[in-house]
Amino acid sequence: MELNNMDILSDEFFDIVKRVFKDKINGIVFDDIVDEPNRHTFKLKFRIYNFAGVRFIYENDLFEIYAFFNGDEGILLSKENSHYSEISDWDSYLKEIMTKIESYIPEKYLKAKGWR
């Protein structure tokens, strides 16, 4: 089976996420990988710090990153109308996202789990 561009892009992004978040993530799931004319999408979902859900949504070079803490409504962590191709340093960008996520998690919890 030949990989399409979205398979390759989602795999590359998955590698970056694993490198940046390391042991802080689990339960990674890919979803909605589509590579058709005028529709290029993929979604990546995972748990972070065994505390919150994260969803990364890519569509036609636009992306959004949401965190889900208590309930169905996510908190948008990325800027609206962010373009994937405009991020030159994904490691730094995701470290900023990780800091935002940590700001919603009690410090006591992070320390108890050894992440501080």
Query: What DSSP string describes 47-64?
Result: EETTTEEEEEEEETTEEE
Task: Give the pLDDT confidence score for residue 1 in this predicted structure.
Answer: 45
Question: Per-residue pLDDT tens for 77-94?
Answer: 999 889 999 999 999 999
- Work out the average pLDDT over 14-43: 92
The contacts of residue 75 (CB under 8 Å, 6+ apart) are 66, 67, 68, 69, 104
Q: Which domain holds residue 102?
A: 5-112
b/e per residue 1-24 (b: at least 16 CB within 10 A): eeeeebeebbeebbeebeebbeeb
Q: For the residues 99-106, what does the mean pLDDT come to?
A: 94
Q: Tell me what the mean pLDDT of segment 30-58 comes to.
A: 93
Domain count, the chain: 1
Full-model pTM: 0.90
CB 20 within 8 A of CB 91: yes
Q: At 47, is the pLDDT very low, low, confident or very high (cuts 50, 70, 90)?
A: very high
